[in-house]
Amino acid sequence: MKSIFLRIILVCVGLNCIASNGQGVDYWRPPQKKLIEAGWDTPTTKYLRENIRRMEECTPYQGIRIKLEGQGEGNGQHVKTMFGKTRWQYEWFQEDVENLKNTEFKKFTDNFIATGVMPGDVDWFSDSDWSSVCNNFAVVARIALETGMKGIIFDPEEYGSYIWSGTNVSGHTRAETETKARQRGQEFGEALFQNFPEIKLFCWCAFSMVSNGSLYGPFLNGIYDVMPPTATLIDGHETKGYTANSRADYLKMRADFSLDFKRHIDKKNLVKYRTQTQLAAATYLEPYFRQYTKKSTWKEILRPGLEKYGSVDFLRRNLTMALEVSDEYAWTWNEYISWWAGTIDGWQQKAIEAIAPGATEAVLAAFDPLGYAEKTVKTYNLQNRLKNPAFEDGDKGWGFYSGRRAEGSHSPENGTMLVCGGQPNLTQQLIVRPGEQYLITARGRLETGTLSPYAIMKINVSFRESTEGTSWLIQHEIGTVLGEPDEEGVREGKLFLTVPERASRIFLALQVLNQKNDGKAYWMDAAVYLIKTPQPLCPTGANLLKNYDFKDGFTNWGLWQNSKTSNGSLKNGAIEKVTDGSIYQAVPIDTTKKYQLRAEVNAKNATLKLSGKFMGMNKKWLNAAASDVTVSFSSPDSQGNCKANLALNDIPAGAAFAACMISVSGKEDSVKPFFAELAEIIESEK
């Protein structure tokens, strides 16, 4: 599966091979991905109608789960009573129908009615019991169709009677019971499909909940037996989604769906499974944002990622992967927290955005990883990590490789790098860490020539396992072709990628392929950005820095690289007439603890960075590439003030001191720091 689903989040711009449709081929395209909200805050139709504008404003999703409530003689009938012996009547839910028809949905385009298997007190061999169940689902399917819903959400979890385990079938053999369960699945499916042929049956778990001996498998096969070509069954793979902690976990979900689940399906239904079934990965929001009063198994499972990336960024990463492996829908579940802070039985939920500022943006970023990366580069003025990225110094910092035949050539020309003939590659290597995410861009112009009409310019990225670059991780190599030229003939390509496990270096190659001797390619510039945003502030202990507010000028602060102040000076609490340089202060630390670093500076033009650097017992710097943590300051506000913060979660071995370092690059008359903090992070829960 790794060769198919790479540990790379790839966004390609203008792939010629995909965009070309010269032969009129109608290429397959995946459905637009959508996120569905569900939880304890699932609204009634009345609440939804009264609060739709606020709910849509607060929720970065495309759909929600909705619950019905019977009225009149049907008072007290709802999702927790429908899988039972009481026979519902359509008229009981007329108020729900009117509410849904008169709710002006704008953002919520894909909505589902909540259903389940409670109370579950039915006998598999009782025709009257199952007549009631099927009737009730027929009523809901009819309502879903009439009110513009996409279908129903079916929660098969046994909160009441254990219907799937067959505890109420004494006197019957297993074979008899499984045959009857399949018959009931057929009756259940007919009740749905006859009333809503295009229904989407969204199961929190479908075959992901089937185990040997469970009656849920035969029941699902019965549904497939009668499923029309217009219907879709969706498997929410609930538990695996809740516990996904890495890309490997999400790939395993996809492998389960594509390979493992088929062993529970009758061969007669395999075609329907392959063509009419979707995977919708789940995410449980509570462990990301809820402050538990006692140890939570869910949070302990996710703790490695939460500690490494922080709750907001970890959610973004996981939702990105959830959407990537899902066919059309992904979904989330929440309980004590809510996007719109709903009220449950008079108890007010906490708003997610209030608990974790930036959570909404994290969800939106999951839908558009490339857009998120480009926005982050702009917002935080991230530094291009390439040497000589615009070829202003010719080929300095770049390697050149033209394939085994060595037919290519390169030379500077009018501020670009001209490459001709063969299969020329301009290359650079960068040290990276697993899990880091990068935006890579490149621009150029191409003159194909009569002998090379199929020449292309391409960004190619491969990874090396060891710092010496001796071991290639070939399975993770990836690339993108530069798109079609704009009005000025400029082509552009972009990649957003995640560094795979074991990789320590990126090997970037700007390639020109299929080019003959009459072709010319001009590389204009390239960029590699580490996509890293400031960590949200955490509760901390005392500030370990002395003179942290700079009221005593630069007392207790040291200069690094002589600050290169261009004959300027450190006075009046500012670095004056600065070109490049850094100030720092080091304090003793405990390698078993975590620390937060933040600073505020006044400067209007210079590029500023905040770094956490480490020293050993001898007060010598540790290996910078392996241990330093750096982030750019925010853009200056109207007063010229810039801020930055980061977390020191992984203290390297051998570290005895941590330094807060504020670095300046670029000319600036005056850079004035006015606050800095290095403090231990206080864990609010365990």
Average the pLDDT over 631-658 and give the result. Answer: 83
Would you place residue 625 in the very low, low, confident or very high pLDDT band (cuts 50, 70, 90)? low
User: What is the torsion angle, in degrees rounded to the nearest 10, for the CA atoms of residue 389, residue 394, residue 397 and residue 398?
Assistant: 90
Q: What is the pLDDT of residue 365?
A: 95
Q: What is the pLDDT of residue 567?
A: 34
Average the pLDDT over 268-296 and give the result. Answer: 92
Cα 564 to the chain's mean position, in Å?
A: 41
| Measured distance CA(333)–CA(287) in Å, rounded | 11
- Which is more confidently placed, 595 or 639? 595
Q: What is the CA radius of gyration of the chain?
A: 30
Indicate if the pLDDT at residue 349 is higher than 60.
Answer: yes
Name the token pair of 654: 């051998």
Would you place residue 350 in the very low, low, confident or very high pLDDT band (cuts 50, 70, 90)? confident
Average the pLDDT over 468-476 and give the result. Answer: 71
| Measured distance CA(236)–CA(329) in Å, rounded | 9
**Residue located via tokens 């032969």:** 23
Q: How many beta carbons lie within 10 A of that of residue 41, not counting itself?
A: 23
**Residue located via tokens 């995946």:** 30
Q: What is the pLDDT of residue 285?
A: 96
Selection from 677, 600, 370, 576 nearest residue 493 by Cα: 370
Helix 127-146 to helix 94-101 angle (10° resolution) is 30
Indicate if the pLDDT at residue 366 is higher than 80.
Answer: yes
Q: What is the pLDDT of residue 161?
A: 85
Q: Which residues touch 167 (CB under 8 Å, ≥6 apart)?
A: 161
Q: What is the pLDDT of residue 70?
A: 94
Q: Which residues touch 26 (CB under 8 Å, ≥6 apart)?
A: none
**Residue located via tokens 């590029």:** 607
Lowest mean pLDDT among 373-382, 453-462, 669-678: 669-678
Indicate if the pLDDT at residue 222 is higher than 70.
Answer: yes
Instruction: Please state which of the four CATH numbers 3.40.190.100, 3.40.50.720, 3.30.420.40, 2.60.120.260 is assigned to the domain occupying 399-530.
Output: 2.60.120.260
Q: Which helix (H) or strand (E) holds 122?
A: none
Would you place residue 638 in the very low, low, confident or very high pLDDT band (cuts 50, 70, 90)? low
Q: How many beta carbons lie within 10 A of that of residue 180, not counting itself?
A: 21
Q: What is the pLDDT of residue 169?
A: 75
| Measured distance CA(154)–CA(116) in Å, rounded | 5
Average the pLDDT over 228-239 and give the result. Answer: 97
Q: What is the pLDDT of residue 93?
A: 98
Q: CA separation (Å) from 607 to 165, 381, 391? A: 64, 8, 21
| Measured distance CA(522)–CA(443) in Å, rounded | 9
Q: What is the pLDDT of residue 666?
A: 66
Q: What is the pLDDT of residues 549-566, one digit of tens each?
A: 888 878 888 877 644 433
Indicate if the pLDDT at residue 651 is higher than 60.
Answer: yes
Would you place residue 18 in the very low, low, confident or very high pLDDT band (cuts 50, 70, 90)? very low
Q: Is the dihedral of CA 612, 385, 564, 676 positive or negative?
A: negative
Q: What is the pLDDT of residue 355?
A: 84
Q: What is the pLDDT of residue 467?
A: 56
Would you place residue 680 in the very low, low, confident or very high pLDDT band (cuts 50, 70, 90)? confident
| Measured distance CA(363)–CA(325) in Å, rounded | 16
Q: Is the dihedral of CA 643, 649, 652, 654 positive or negative?
A: positive
> φ and ψ at 144, to 5 degrees?
-60, -45
Q: What is the pLDDT of residues 147-175, one digit of tens each?
A: 999 999 999 999 888 899 877 677 888 89
Q: What is the pLDDT of residue 537?
A: 63
Lowest mean pLDDT among 43-57, 78-92, 235-249, 559-573: 559-573
Name the token pair of 681: 């992070």
What SS3 state is found at 516? coil
Q: What is the pLDDT of residue 243?
A: 96
User: What is the torsion angle, in degrees rounded to the nearest 10, for the CA atoms of residue 362, residue 363, residue 367 and residue 371?
Assistant: -30
Q: What is the pLDDT of residues 531-545, one digit of tens each?
A: 976 665 666 678 899
Domain locations in the chain? 31-367, 399-530, 540-681
In CATH, what number does 31-367 get?
Answer: 3.20.20
Cis status of the peptide bond prior to 673, with omega within 30 of 0: no
Selection from 330, 334, 332, 331 nearest residue 290 by Cα: 334
- How many percent of the chain have pLDDT more than 70? 88
565, 668 in Cβ contact below 8 A?
Answer: no
Q: Which amino acid is at 69?
A: E
Lowest mean pLDDT among 322-331, 343-352, 508-517: 343-352
In CATH, what number does 540-681 get?
Answer: 2.60.120.260
Q: Is the dihedral of CA 365, 366, 371, 375 positive or negative?
A: positive
> φ and ψ at 284, to 5 degrees?
-100, 115
Q: What is the pLDDT of residue 555?
A: 87
Lowest mean pLDDT among 50-64, 374-388, 495-509, 560-574: 560-574
Is there a shared CATH topology between the 31-367 domain and the 399-530 domain?
Answer: no
| Measured distance CA(102)–CA(49) in Å, rounded | 7
Q: What is the pLDDT of residue 272?
A: 98
Indicate if the pLDDT at residue 517 is higher than 90.
Answer: no
Q: Which helix (H) or strand (E) holds 660?
A: strand 657-681
Indicate if the pLDDT at residue 378 is higher than 70.
Answer: yes
Q: Please list the residues that pair with 466 across neighbouring strands.
A: none
Average the pLDDT over 565-579 and give the result. Answer: 47
Average the pLDDT over 470-498 and give the result. Answer: 90
Would you place residue 290 in the very low, low, confident or very high pLDDT band (cuts 50, 70, 90)? confident
Q: Please list the residues that pair with 633 across neighbouring strands.
A: none
Could you tell me how many residues make up the chain?
A: 686
Q: What is the pLDDT of residue 631?
A: 81
| Measured distance CA(223)–CA(237) in Å, rounded | 18
Would you place residue 489 in the very low, low, confident or very high pLDDT band (cuts 50, 70, 90)? very high
Q: Is the dihedral of CA 400, 406, 412, 415 positive or negative?
A: negative
Selection from 17, 33, 1 nearest residue 480 by Cα: 17
| Measured distance CA(510)–CA(270) in Å, rounded | 44
Task: Calculate the average pLDDT of the chain.
Answer: 87
Q: Is the dihedral of CA 616, 618, 619, 623 positive or negative?
A: negative
Cα 2 to the chain's mean position, in Å?
A: 18
Q: What is the pLDDT of residue 17?
A: 40
Q: Which residues touch 311 (CB under 8 Å, ≥6 apart)?
A: 288, 289, 356, 536
Indicate if the pLDDT at residue 14 is higher than 80.
Answer: no
Q: What is the pLDDT of residue 579?
A: 56
Selection from 426, 449, 447, 444 nearest residue 511 by Cα: 426
Q: How buried is residue 301: exposed, middle or buried, by Cβ count under 10 Å (0-12/13-18/19+)?
A: middle
Q: What is the pLDDT of residue 279?
A: 98
Indicate if the pLDDT at residue 586 is higher than 50.
Answer: yes
What SS3 state is found at 106? coil
Indicate if the pLDDT at residue 100 is higher than 70.
Answer: yes
Q: What is the pLDDT of residues 433-457, one digit of tens each?
A: 889 999 999 999 999 878 888 899 9
Q: What is the pLDDT of residues 387-426, one digit of tens each?
A: 999 999 999 999 998 765 556 788 888 888 888 877 889 9
Q: What is the pLDDT of residue 156?
A: 96
